[in-house]
Amino acid sequence: MPTNPTAYRVFIASPSGLDDERRTFRETIHKHNEADGYARNAIFVPVGWEETLGGRRRPQSAINEELDACDYFVLVLWDRWGTAPDDTGKYTSGTEEEFDRAAKLFKKRKLREIVVLFKAVDAKQLSDPGDQLKKVLEFRKKLEKTKEIFFHSFDDIGKFQDLLSKFLHKWVRDDEDGALAKKKPRRPKGGGDVLAPKESPAQPLQPALSPAIGKMLDEAESLADKGKLTEAEVLFSRAIIKSRSPSVLNSYGWFLQRLGRMSQAKEMHEQALAIAREVGDRQGEGTALGKLGIAYKNLGEPRKAIEFYEQHRAIAREIGDRRGEGNALWNSALAYYKLGQKADAMDRAEAALAIREAIEDPGAAKVRAALAKWRGESGK
């Protein structure tokens, strides 16, 4: 006999200017429920001022009462922090009050999880933030430092939807594991955006860079390696505002790729490619092509990725960039393997291995291990 599904309430908080995200939040939850939630007996109910107020704003206290009855809290921020809810001066925005209330509920284990999602800000605005954006950046740096709350960034509505869907599926698994049925829900370990490991040594910067820009990029990379991603991104943004060099754009694009923000990263690499071709910078052109290939691979388009890798390989051979040629071959091998074309994958991997061994590239070990695995799968 069918049973009524357990309903978990998910509250969304945000300042103004995020109407598309708020609408997508509700649509994603409804789609999840229809596709999976009812079948697995655990559904989610979106809660925000739209549902609570019927389109008319009421005092903040009324919104807080709705928050008190929720199981999850999702905060979305972009370039605005918001305005104070009253004249007491206790909170600088209604969103801040909602987050503070959620944090207190979480500590009391009355709220199961808090998730914060930051919408990417364009480089020009990020390089010289106003008062509103400064408050958002300070809040993000605080989360990076404490690591108590889950937070991620997104650069388009599809990425936002994917992040939210992942959390919904996680919460369903928690329900099935029995974690949500406990009186005291488990406290998940927080954390934020994590840089993916560098797949290959960085391409050398072009000599046209000024010492000041080079120093800025070095500092940005150092901050990123230390996990200070907000500060790193601000520095990268300042660098590309001061210099439109392909190497600067490619460096920022690669940082964004490692954060998983592929749409924004593609834009940087495409700009780098256009400028490199205009000024005849073959090294910058090759690097941009290679990075675009990686972006398309990560977006699930391996065939398109291979097109860019082959162009990168041709330029690398032309200018004598052995490391770049080896990287292009190895990336092509991975894309062919993903397509199930193992013979093509092994051919390119063997060529990549020969180059990496010749130049004593430490990445040779990774290629060697993959080849051994692929040969075993092919019975060779």
In tens, the pLDDT along 54-99 reads 545 546 778 888 999 999 999 999 999 998 887 777 899 999 999 9
**Residue 205: predicted pLDDT:** 44
pLDDT < 50 positions in the chain: 1, 55, 58, 180-188, 201-207
What residues does 77 pair with on adjacent strands? Answer: 118
Q: What is the 3-state secondary structure (H, E, C) of the chain?
A: CCCCCEEEEEEEECCCCCHHHHHHHHHHHHHHHHHHHCCCCEEEEEECHHHHHCCCCCCHHHHHHHHHCCCEEEEEECCCCCCCCCCCCCCCCHHHHHHHHHHHHHHCCCCCEEEEEEECCCHHHHHCCCHHHHHHHHHHHHHHHHCCCEEEEECCHHHHHHHHHHHHHHHHHHHHHCHHHCCCCCCCCCECCCCCCCCCCCCCCCCCCCHHHHHHHHHHHHHHHCCCHHHHHHHHHHHHHHCCCHHHHHHHHHHHHHHCCHHHHHHHHHHHHHHHHHHCCHHHHHHHHHHHHHHHHHCCCHHHHHHHHHHHHHHHHHHCCHHHHHHHHHHHHHHHHHCCCHHHHHHHHHHHHHHHHHCCCCCHHHHHHHHHHHHHHHCC
**Residue 53: predicted pLDDT:** 55
Distance CA 335, CA 329 (A): 10
φ and ψ at 227, to 5 degrees?
85, 5
The CA-based angle 210-194-266, given to 5 degrees, is 55
pLDDT in tens, 125-170: 999 999 999 999 999 999 999 888 889 999 999 999 999 999 999 9
CA 238 and chain centroid, separation: 20
Distance CA 149, CA 115 (A): 7
Q: 368-374 long-range CB contacts below 8 Å, 24 or more apart?
A: 370/333, 370/337, 371/346, 374/337, 374/342, 374/345, 374/346, 374/349
Residue type, 183: K
Domains for the chain: give ranges and CATH numbers.
Answer: 6-181 (3.40.50.10140), 211-378 (1.25.40.10)
Distance CA 359, CA 366 (A): 15
What is the torsional sign of CA 49, 186, 36, 166? positive
Alpha-carbon torsion, ordered 215, 219, 224, 226, to 10 deg = 150
**Residue 186: predicted pLDDT:** 46
**Residue 2: predicted pLDDT:** 54
Distance CA 63, CA 154 (A): 26
What residues does 191 pair with on adjacent strands? Answer: 150
